[in-house]
Amino acid sequence: MYAHDTIAAIATPPGHGGVAIIRMSGPHAETIARQAFLFSQPRETLQSHYCYLGQVRDPETGHCFDQALLVAMRAPHSYTGEEVVEIHCHGGQLLSHRVLAVMLRQGARMAEPGEFTKRAFLNNRLDLSQAEAVLDLIHAKSNQGLNLAWEQLSGRLSDVCMTLRERLVGLTAYIEAFIDFPDEDLPEKAQHELDAEMNVLATDIATLAATFTQGKIYREGCRTVIVGKPNVGKSSLLNLLSGTERAIVTSIPGTTRDILEETVTLNGIPLVIWDTAGLRETSDVVEQIGVERAKAGIQAAELVLAVFDASQPLDVQDEAVLSTIQQKRTIPILNKVDLPMVVSAADLHPQPHLMPPVLLSTTTGVGLEALGKSVRHALFTQESTLTENEPGATVLRVRHHDALIKAEEMLRQARQNLHGGIPLDLLAVDLRTALDHIGEITGHVNTEDILDRVFRDFCIGK
């Protein structure tokens, strides 16, 4: 599972830039680097975490082809916990690949995606949840998502999970103490205390799992679809939210034929916005396809922004839109309030599946702040406990959420078994299983398939 060889990769994104970093990790990193790097001044020994100036050369020809910096990081004080050497060269794509090719010819192996972080985990530099946080930090879509990823990388979720594990270990040890003495019955008082502790522990786990609703949104963004009949201002709304002319806006009905996607941040919440074709009956084959895709987008969306023209009376097409979005979490928007209004909020509300309408002008921007508040209320039914300055331990990934739910279920089952008079050794099995599920989050119980799932989305070089 862990090849103790030396790996190398380009750690910076592809393309052109001021600097490119070629990273190596493993027992022969310094030896390989010395063959490919000509120091400006001779260096018999390298100090850890110091930058050295020199030139990159091809050992086979002796030809130097770039000026660069070399940084050596000694084990265990490196990202991977191994010997790590980085060469910081100029950021041309051809140049960085040439430097990497030299390293590979001298004996390094091309790193697999996520292999540097995987080695950090295997060398106990990070636990599994912290390793996943590295990727979340890179792909954060909002300041809050960035803060949450940093908190997880810093170990906040790990600390909470460790506390839960310790409490579970204590319960399991308590049960197993009575198993070791089969002639002793579990006292009635002990049963009550054990039941109460399992209930509190299950509740604490459920509370942590419940943070996934917010965590998932901040990590991935909320899938949000803009719908309405033609020419109500759907594309104008997308342009207003994105701050760019992302969608073509004309007075001709049916301009938008396909789904346009844009990621925006509104009131601190990342939204993956889909602008769809206007919902109406049409004989245009291409527009029909767009309408069908719009309906499919509605079904897949987590939030619907339904746009209506406040300057025109509601008609059968608007009614068709309302019919299409039933059972979906929907914020109705009365657009064009800068014009004389003939539709009021009372015309749309109250309806069971609709929130109170937002009055908006995509021309002037009036109502955008109110829309942001409405989105937050729609997604977080109670006031968020997450703040920009001090976020709590939050579950960001499906894998973590599933593990917590399974742990809670095993504790609930253990309580039922306790009341049902099930033998203590079977009760201990329930608690050990719950313990394993909690351990899956940080990697205290690790299997190859869990590791593969964690690291498969990493890029090469990280």
Query: CA 339, 341, 346: angle at the middle one, nearest 5?
Result: 150
Looking at residues 402-425, what average pLDDT do you find? 90
The confidence band for 250, taking pLDDT boundaries of 50, 70 and 90, is: very low
pLDDT at res. 209? 95
Tokens describing residue 341: 């209004």
| Highest mean predicted confidence (pLDDT) among 147-161, 232-246, 344-358 | 147-161
Phi/psi of residue 220, each to 5°? -105, -20
Phi/psi of residue 51, each to 5°? -95, 135
Please report the domains of the chain, with CATH numbers, ordered by start residue: 7-126 (3.30.1360.120), 130-211+394-443 (1.20.120.430), 229-379 (3.40.50.300)
Report yes or no: 367 and 359 within 8 Å, Cβ to Cβ.
Answer: yes
- Residues across the chain: 462
Percentage of the chain beyond pLDDT 70 is: 83
- Per residue in 305-327, pLDDT (tens digit) is 999 999 999 988 888 888 888 88
Looking at residues 43-72, what average pLDDT do you find? 94
pLDDT at res. 244? 62
The confidence band for 348, taking pLDDT boundaries of 50, 70 and 90, is: confident
Report yes or no: 220 and 440 within 8 Å, Cβ to Cβ.
Answer: no
pLDDT at res. 252? 42
Instruction: State the Cα–Cα distance between residues 214 and 376, nearest whole angstrom.
Output: 10
pLDDT at res. 254? 45
pLDDT at res. 288? 63
Strands lying side by side in the sheet with 50-58: 37-39, 50-58, 63-73, 84-91, 17-25, 7-10, 109-110
Q: Please state, in angstroms and as integers, the Cα–Cα distance from residue 186 to each residue in 179, 218, 429, following that order.
A: 9, 46, 17
pLDDT at res. 385? 46
| Highest mean predicted confidence (pLDDT) among 14-18, 175-179, 276-280, 370-374 | 370-374
Compute the mean pLDDT over every residue in the chain, rounded to the nearest whole number.
Answer: 85
The confidence band for 409, taking pLDDT boundaries of 50, 70 and 90, is: very high
Residue predicted with more confidence, 19 or 346: 19
Residue 404: which region, alpha, beta or left (left: phi > 0; alpha: psi -120 to 50)?
alpha
pLDDT at res. 160? 94
pLDDT at res. 388? 43
pLDDT at res. 164? 94
The confidence band for 253, taking pLDDT boundaries of 50, 70 and 90, is: very low
pLDDT at res. 395? 93
Report yes or no: 331 and 306 within 8 Å, Cβ to Cβ.
Answer: yes
Beta-strand pair 358-359/330-335: parallel
**Residue tagged 């001779």 (tokens):** 42
Residue predicted with more confidence, 448 or 206: 206
Looking at residues 416-441, what average pLDDT do you find? 88
- Per residue in 100-139, pLDDT (tens digit) is 999 999 999 999 999 999 999 999 999 999 999 998 998 8
The confidence band for 390, taking pLDDT boundaries of 50, 70 and 90, is: very low
The confidence band for 249, taking pLDDT boundaries of 50, 70 and 90, is: very low
Residue predicted with more confidence, 276 or 70: 70
* CA atoms within a 13 Å half-sphere pointing along the CA-CB vector of 6: 22
Q: Is the pLDDT of residue 94 over 80?
A: yes
The confidence band for 74, taking pLDDT boundaries of 50, 70 and 90, is: very high
Asked, as a colleague might, if the bond just before 350 is cis with ω within 30 of 0, I would say yes
Residue predicted with more confidence, 218 or 386: 218
Q: Is the pLDDT of residue 187 over 70?
A: no
The confidence band for 389, taking pLDDT boundaries of 50, 70 and 90, is: very low
Q: Judging by beta carbons within 10 Å of its beta carbon (0-12, 13-18, 19+), is residue 87 exposed, middle or buried? A: buried
Looking at residues 333-358, what average pLDDT do you find? 84
Q: Is the pLDDT of residue 329 over 70?
A: yes
pLDDT at res. 72? 96
Q: Is the pLDDT of residue 156 over 80?
A: yes
Q: Is the pLDDT of residue 75 over 90?
A: yes
The confidence band for 175, taking pLDDT boundaries of 50, 70 and 90, is: confident
Q: Is the pLDDT of residue 163 over 90?
A: yes
CB atoms closer than 10 angstroms to residue 68: 25
Q: Is the pLDDT of residue 169 over 70?
A: yes
